[in-house]
Structure 1
């Protein structure tokens, strides 16, 4: 259960990062509310998962999912450049997260 909650929390990290960008420095109410809700749920899920997972593993997986998700969102939805180097780096992040899960 902790791994499932951790993965959902990582996805919520991507949501709050995207909402933060969309809020335009908290000047738009709906993205600002989404940011706050996603942030609270993401942190709460991380806290729950860390009850049974080691801090280093849990935090690295959470950040990895959020960072990779935000980068992919930026490329797909915001028109950020899609380059071979970025894809390789994202692949390495995903491989590291998967490795932490498999080696736990």
Structure 2
């Protein structure tokens, strides 16, 4: 999200509040563990409900920002794989485009070796 949004804090609760305009409680992992282990069937259901809601909110944030659509379109344009669009830098993208443009013209890129 750091590449997508300009926020002071990037916790899941703050990203959800900014993107979806909703509040989402963020209990600690020890509280979730206590609900699951010591809360019986009701506590397990509460912990699982929270995890399911957290997963849904993550998917809603991705959908609202259209992160998957834009990333896959960039991968198609640059001719590189989806994961490289997210993880590699802009120089890799420029080299990919340069390679795609120069190949039909019969040019060969210089190797650093």
Class of the TM-score when normalised by the shorter of the 2 chains? 0.3 to 0.5
Q: Which structure's relative contact order is higher, taking Cα pairs within 8 Å and 6+ residues apart?
A: 1
TM-score (norm 1): 0.34
